[in-house]
């Protein structure tokens, strides 16, 4: 039996029949031994014996199929016979022709015009009954080619010839020539293959010595040792770059810290804006005033009452009234030592780093004494009660200079 390769599923392949010699027109049942048709490519009608296609055929995969058909009597299944059926797949032109390998050719730089440089052939998986016949031509996209021509030899091969001279591999070392191949069909199928032509240097006898493409391949094909050395160099370079960046960043941070330290050394903070400011709480003014908590000295024509002054001032005044010409500095020394002891013993008193003292200028100075201690014995210079008459803006200043009452000192 024969069937076309492009036959559809269900197409009739052939019919088998069996006769019973014992009984004419006896019913026979047909089947296929599936061990001979594992892929179930064919089916058979159990009554008529018609063999049909169960799958699409491919002659390039299998050109022949051999199956076994069983014939069994319908009334006596023990009576059976086996018959082998061979099915040939008829070829259909369903594969286009292709250029045979290799797809490369070489040409010398000093090639002459019309010189044959390569012969091409074609392969086709189809097997037409009339045999193969192929047609060659340069593809339309390369119709304006001025370097090579194609010569169809008419024996299913074609030759490539040079069309000019003066090839130079330094100017252009590779030429691509697309070639169109068509078979005889039916139906006629075609394909386009590209032939790579390399320009090479040849000796006087036309033997190829070297090509640029060969040099490129040799230079690109590095040995394993060279590749390892290249990778090590790249790794060292990356490590050096990272080390330099780290050192620069560390150095920059160090310089910034030094600049910050210099700026902090030059910053001077003033937390005390004076007792006259209403918006500051620099010091506890009550604690400061306790050191100078003298009774209020009221102005009068006869001068201040000596009993309202500290004892050391009273003693100094008594000494002056007795006409003593010498100044006793032990009074000042004792007063200062007493204040130092009081400041050291009292933890609520703010710390003081220095004492301000004034020497005795003498009684013969026309400008009198500049000492604040001496001026306490005068009559009216230490009376600041007039500040309370200057208005609300000077009320706090008047309160700072207001003296206590004599009764408070006595208590």
User: What value does the mean pLDDT take over residues 330-345?
Assistant: 80
Range of the domain at 349: 285-410
Confidence of residue 252 (pLDDT cuts 50, 70, 90): confident
pLDDT over 80 (residue 268): no
- Least confident segment among 27-36, 38-47, 381-390: 381-390
**Any domain includes 277:** no
> Distance between CA 179 and CA 192 in Å, rounded?
6
* 310-316 LR contacts (CB < 8 Å, sep 24+): 313/373, 313/376, 313/377, 316/377
**Any domain includes 233:** no
**Any domain includes 247:** no
**Any domain includes 252:** no
CA 32 to chain centre: 67
**Class of residue 130 by CB neighbours under 10 A (exposed 0-12, middle 13-18, buried 19+):** exposed
Does pTM surpass 0.85?
no
**Class of residue 42 by CB neighbours under 10 A (exposed 0-12, middle 13-18, buried 19+):** buried
Question: Are both 334 and 374 inside the same structural domain?
Answer: yes
The pLDDT of residue 403 is 59
Rg of the Cα atoms in the chain:
64
Mind listing the pLDDT tens digit for each residue in 44-96? 999 999 999 999 998 888 889 999 999 998 888 888 899 999 999 988 888 89
pLDDT over 70 (residue 249): yes
Q: Which of 90, 106, 121 is the endpoint of a domain?
A: 90
The pLDDT of residue 351 is 63
Confidence of residue 178 (pLDDT cuts 50, 70, 90): very high
- Work out how many domains the chain is built from and give that number: 3
Average pLDDT score, the chain: 76
**Any domain includes 339:** yes
**Any domain includes 280:** no
Q: Which carries the bigger pLDDT value, residue 273 or residue 165?
A: 165
Question: Are both 129 and 34 inside the same structural domain?
Answer: no
**Any domain includes 249:** no
Q: Which of 220, 235, 266 is the endpoint of a domain?
A: 220
Question: Are both 119 and 83 inside the same structural domain?
Answer: no
CATH classification of the domain holding 186: 2.60.40.60
**Any domain includes 406:** yes
CA atoms within 13 A on the CB side of 85: 28
pLDDT over 70 (residue 130): yes
Mind listing the pLDDT tens digit for each residue in 192-227? 999 999 999 898 888 888 885 444 444 445 678 888
Instruction: Return left, alpha or beta for 323; rule: phi > 0 is left, psi -120 to 50 is alpha, else beta.
Output: left
> Distance between CA 18 and CA 34 in Å, rounded?
19
Question: Are both 27 and 134 inside the same structural domain?
Answer: no
Question: Are both 401 and 306 inside the same structural domain?
Answer: yes
């Amino acid at each position: 039996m024969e069937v076309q390769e492009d036959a559809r599923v269900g197409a009739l392949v052939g019919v088998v029949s069996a006769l019973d010699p014992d009984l004419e027109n006896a019913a026979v049942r047909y089947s296929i031994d599936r061990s001979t048709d594992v892929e179930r490519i064919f089916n058979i009608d159990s009554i008529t014996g018609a063999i049909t296609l169960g799958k699409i055929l491919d002659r390039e995969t299998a050109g022949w199929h051999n199956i076994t058909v069983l014939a069994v009597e319908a009334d006596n299944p023990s009576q059976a016979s086996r018959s082998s059926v061979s099915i040939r797949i008829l070829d259909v032109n369903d594969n286009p022709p292709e250029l045979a390998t290799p797809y490369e050719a070489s040409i010398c730089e000093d090639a002459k015009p019309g010189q044959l440089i390569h012969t091409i052939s074609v392969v086709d998986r189809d097997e037409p009954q009339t045999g193969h016949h192929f047609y060659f031509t340069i593809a339309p996209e390369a119709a304006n080619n001025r370097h090579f021509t194609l010569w169809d030899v008419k024996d299913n091969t074609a030759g490539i010839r040079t069309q000019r001279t003066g090839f130079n591999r330094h100017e252009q070392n590779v030429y691509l020539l697309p070639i169109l191949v068509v078979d005889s069909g039916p139906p006629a199928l075609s394909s386009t293959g590209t032939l790579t032509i390399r320009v090479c240097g040849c000796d006087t006898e036309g033997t190829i010595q070297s090509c640029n493409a060969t040099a490129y391949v040799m230079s690109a094909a590095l040995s394993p040792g060279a590749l390892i050395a290249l990778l090590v160099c790249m790794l060292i370079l990356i490590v050096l770059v990272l080390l330099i960046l780290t050192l620069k960043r560390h150095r920059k941070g160090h310089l910034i810290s030094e600049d910050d330290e210099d700026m902090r050394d030059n910053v001077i903070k003033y937390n005390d804006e004076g007792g006259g400011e209403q918006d500051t709480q620099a010091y506890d003014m009550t604690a400061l005033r306790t050191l100078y908590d003298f009774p209020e000295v009221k102005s009068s024509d006869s001068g201040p009452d000596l009993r309202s002054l500290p004892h050391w001032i009273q003693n100094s005044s008594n000494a002056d009234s007795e006409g003593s010409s010498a100044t006793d500095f032990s009074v000042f020394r004792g007063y200062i030592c007493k204040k130092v002891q009081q400041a050291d013993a009292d933890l609520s008193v703010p710390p003081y780093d220095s004492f301000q003292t004034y020497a005795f200028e003498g009684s013969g100075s026309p400008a009198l004494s500049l000492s604040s201690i001496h001026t306490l014995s005068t009559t009216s210079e230490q009376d600041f009660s007039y500040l309370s008459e200057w208005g609300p803006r000077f009320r706090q200043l008047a309160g700072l200079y207001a003296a206590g009452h004599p009764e408070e000192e006595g208590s």
